Structure formats: structure tokens, C-alpha cells
Amino acid sequence: MDGTAKILKFELQDVLRSKWMILYALFFLLLTEGLFRFGGNQSKVILSLMNIVLIIIPLVSIVFGTMYLYHSREFIELLLSQPIERKKIFWGVYSGLAIPLSAGFVLGVSIPSLMYGIHTSQEAGMMGMLIVAGVFLTFIFVALSFSISIRYEDRLKGLGLSILLWFFFAIMYDGIVLILIYTFGDYPLEKAMIGVSLLNPIDIARTLLLLQFDISALMGYTGAVFHKFFAGWTGMIISVVFLMLWVGIPLFSGQRIFNRKDF
């Protein structure tokens, strides 16, 4: 077995037993169950879940990731003294956190959904996309948390930056976009808007979900660029590619720093 896989195996044993991890999965389980029970119809459940996915997953992933890496520091030192390449340790630790976090979310959401028969309903596609978006956001924000906590020794600073980054992407960014729209409203903005939204992983995930939930509204927009982007597969393919970049770039930059870092 490859070194990464070995570390991943033990990370999983560790993380899956963590009470935070269990709480996280339970949170989604109870929330989804509750929404189905009291929420009325399935569309409503999925739309409520969407807000949670876009806000909570990035927050938990980035905070949990930052703390976890600081916490594992001495263990990583021990691993580093073993004959394994640094790269493999990094990937092992990363996937050892991102995979169980995603799994917690996926299981927590899908068990009640399946019990309420989502897979046979019209909303199956929406739910599928929601899960894909949630998993992407987990991988992205754990990657971001790693690239922060590897860069900064000071734990408070690292944690502060993580939360700030979350706040920026989750809330501030769209505010800035709205201001830009009003400022440059006289110019054709479509292309720029699509570009701008691809620079924020939460916005990309949201766009991906809009393609499922709100395609009728998006098709009501006049601009041709929007149409081209949202109709058919173009938008989906571009969004997924950018989400992958958003996983890859922080991860590879994190790994580069990890390779050179002094422990």
C-alpha cells in the first residue's frame, strides 16, 4: 500500500471517532429529517438545505481544518521522522480529513432523504447536485484551511484568517459584486459577472445549484452570454472545472509550502 493510503487509513480511524465529526454528521441527519418532517414539500427542504450547504459547510470545513492541522502538528512531526515522503503525508492528512467530513455530510443528508423517497421524486436531480456541491465545498475549504494553517505558525492568526476568509467568500463577496453591478450598471456586465462569480467557490457552487433550481428564471434573462452559459452543459462544465481548480490550487500551493516548511 502507498504511504498516502496508509496515513489516510489511520487518519480515517482517528477522525471518524472524533466527537466533532459525529456531531457534524448528526447535525445534517437531524436537520434533514426535521426539514422533511416539518418542511412540507421536498422543494422547500432542498432549498433550505441549500442555504445550509453554502454557509455551514465552508465554515465548518475551514475552521475544523485549521484546528485539526494545528492539533496534529506533533503527530505530523512524528510522521516526518519516518521514511515517508512529505508529499504523501500531506495528501494522507488532507484526504483523511476531507473524506470523512464529506462523508458525514453525504450520509447525514442522504439517509433521511432516501427514507422520504427523494430518489424516486422529481427533486432527485436537485438533491444530487446539492450533494455534489457540498462535497466540493468541503474539499475546497479544507484545502484553503490547510494552505492557511501551514503558512501561519500562530494558531490564533491562522484561525482568525480562516474565519475571515469564510466571511469574505460567504457574505462580503456578493455584497461587493452587487455594488459593482450598480456602479457599472450602464455597461454590458454579463461576461464580467460570470467571471467574477467563478472567482468565489461558494458562488460557483451556488451557480451550479441555480442551474438545477432556478433555470427558469435564468432563462428569463435577456443577455445572450447568460443564455449560452446557463443553457445546456456549458455552465455546468465550466462550473465544475472551476470548482476543481478551487480544490487544486490551494491544495498544491499548500503542498508546496508543506514541502519546504520547517517543523
Tell me which residues in 179-238 interact with other proteins (CB under 8 A): 181-182, 185, 189-190, 193-194, 197, 203, 206-207, 209-210, 213-223, 226
Window 156-175: residues binding other proteins (CB under 8 A): 170-175
Closer of 156 and 262 to other proteins (Cβ)? 262
Q: How far is CA 19 from CA 14, 15, 151, 197, 262, in A?
A: 10, 9, 27, 35, 31
Closer of 47 and 247 to other proteins (Cβ)? 47
Question: Alpha-carbon distance 26 to 126, whole Å?
Answer: 22
The type of residue at 259 is N
Q: Shortest approach of other proteins to residue 42 CB, angstroms?
A: 9
Closer of 178 and 241 to other proteins (Cβ)? 178
Question: Alpha-carbon distance 127 to 233, whole Å?
Answer: 18
Question: Which cell numbers in the block locate residue 84?
Answer: 515517508
Q: Do residues 52 and 31 touch, judged by C-beta distance below 8 A?
A: yes
Window 83-102: residues binding other proteins (CB under 8 A): 83-86
Closer of 120 and 183 to other proteins (Cβ)? 183
Window 11-30: residues binding other proteins (CB under 8 A): 11, 13-18
CA dihedral over 126, 132, 134, 136, signed as positive or negative: negative
Closer of 120 and 185 to other proteins (Cβ)? 185
Q: Shortest approach of other proteins to residue 24 CB, angstroms?
A: 14
- 26 Cβ contact partners less than 8 Å away, ≥ 6 residues apart: 108
Window 114-153: residues binding other proteins (CB under 8 A): none
